[in-house]
Amino acid sequence: MPSIEKKRKHKHSDEKSKKKHKSSGIVHVSHGKDDKASKDSAFSEVSIRLYVHLAPMWNGKTMDGVNETLNAFLMKYVAEVDGIVLAHSDVELQNKNGQVLYDSPFCHFFITAKLLVWRPKKGSKLVGRISLQSQDHVGLLIYGTFNASIPRSNLSEKYEWSTSENHDEDEEEQSEDQETRNKSQNGEWVTKSSGARIGGDDGSLEFTVVDITEVNDILTVTGSL
């Protein structure tokens, strides 16, 4: 009986349901009891329930199709889990048989899975590697992947911009990676009292998260130092 009612409803909202079946969507998210352990971490594991619409090409290869569907979430910001999805695991089918509805060739069914999510929190500490410096900001890469920026207004007064003039020969012997990391063509940020460059020898810098912006499925972190 429920399936018949659903079909009647579908007839009156044909255009809406066609749009709905074009992509799979997360219908439930559970953070679990152990999520307390991730309060001080930017990483967390969440359980999801997903309504999948599998194309005919995956007939006989259901799990391959499901994994392909989940792969579409990877390295993107997903609003339902409020973070960047890094990996998926423990995938389980929730229906013995899928449904083919009306004139749609897609097979519809539910699955559950676990997602590893990166979602930094305001006020937390992160470590990034300096990738760019200018008088206006310090650019960093977190885990070699995620962008972060510390604008000049968020830099402590104990730091100052040191303009490059003449460099010693031993500075020229530094690797290109270190050159790019620690200074721009115009200069670098240093500690006023000692003249030491920020980030030290390896360019790693711990900072505080003050804002997180999502644009085009990517998170950008703004920090302070």
Predicted confidence band at 198 (pLDDT cuts at 50, 70, 90)?
very high
Residues 6+ apart with CB under 8 A from 68: 58
Residue-wise pLDDT for 116-149, tens only, equals 999 999 999 999 999 999 999 999 999 999 999 9
pLDDT at 206: 95
Distances, alpha carbon 56 to alpha carbons 68, 72, 105, 117, 118, in Å? 14, 18, 6, 30, 33
> pTM (2 decimals)?
0.75
Residue 91 is predicted with a pLDDT of 95
DSSP secondary structure letter of residue 67: H
Of 120 and 169, the one with more pLDDT: 120
- Summarize pLDDT for 22-78 with one digit per residue, the tens: 567 887 788 765 554 456 789 999 999 999 999 999 988 999 999 999 999 999 999
Please, which pLDDT band fits residue 101 given cuts at 50, 70 and 90?
Answer: confident
pLDDT of residue 27: 76
Q: Which CATH architecture has domain 21-118?
A: 2-Layer Sandwich (3.30)
If pLDDT is split at 50, 70 and 90, which confidence band does 1 have?
very low
CATH class (in words) of the domain with range 125-224 = mainly beta
Are residues 125 and 196 in contact, defined by beta-carbon separation less than 8 angstroms? Answer: no
With CA atoms as reference, report the closest residue to 183 among 161, 153, 208.
161
Whether pLDDT at 17 is above 50:
no
Domain extents in the chain: 21-118, 125-224
Strand order in the sheet with 83-93: 25-30, 43-54, 107-118, 83-93, 77-78
Cα distances (Å, whole numbers) of residue 178 to 115, 172, 181, 188, 225:
35, 10, 5, 12, 21
Q: Is the pLDDT of residue 104 over 50?
A: yes
**Average pLDDT of the residues in 186-210:** 92
Lowest mean pLDDT among 47-51, 98-102, 187-191: 98-102
In whole angstroms, give the CA distance from residue 126 to residue 143.
Answer: 10
Give me the residues paired with residue 206 across strands.
Answer: 127
Mean pLDDT across the chain: 82
